[in-house]
Amino acid sequence: MSADGGSSWRDPKDEPERINGPAARLVVLEDPSGKAVSLLSWMEGRRDYQLSIDANIAREPLPDRLFALAAPLPHAVPA
């Protein structure tokens, strides 16, 4: 995005979830049949991280597991 002048910004106050400091966004999408995907995303500097799982983590005891998977990921290193 930086090559064409685009940018992205999210207000941290709107996102109480955190991954090692930066604000994170948790989105759960589910269709009427019950098929679902949960997406956890956050940004560090110019890096955008995304973890997804084929489940509705709001209904299953998985939110802590998804956040636990995200926590040990290495921090972004400037190029």
The one-letter amino acid at 55 = A
Whole-number Cα distances in Å, 44 to 13, 20, 33, 79? 16, 10, 35, 13
Question: How does the average pLDDT of the chain come out, rounded?
Answer: 75
pLDDT at site 14: 61
Question: In which domain, by residue range, is 10 found?
Answer: 2-70
Is 19 among the domain residues? Answer: yes
User: Is 43 within 8 Å of 26 (Cβ atoms)?
Assistant: no
5, pLDDT greater than 70: no
Is 7 among the domain residues? Answer: yes
Is 40 among the domain residues? Answer: yes
**For the chain, how many structural domains are there in total?**
1
Is 32 among the domain residues? Answer: yes
Burial class (CB in 10 A: 0-12, 13-18, 19+), 38: buried
pLDDT at site 56: 85
Higher pLDDT, 78 or 30: 30
pLDDT in tens, 54-77: 888 877 766 677 777 787 877 767
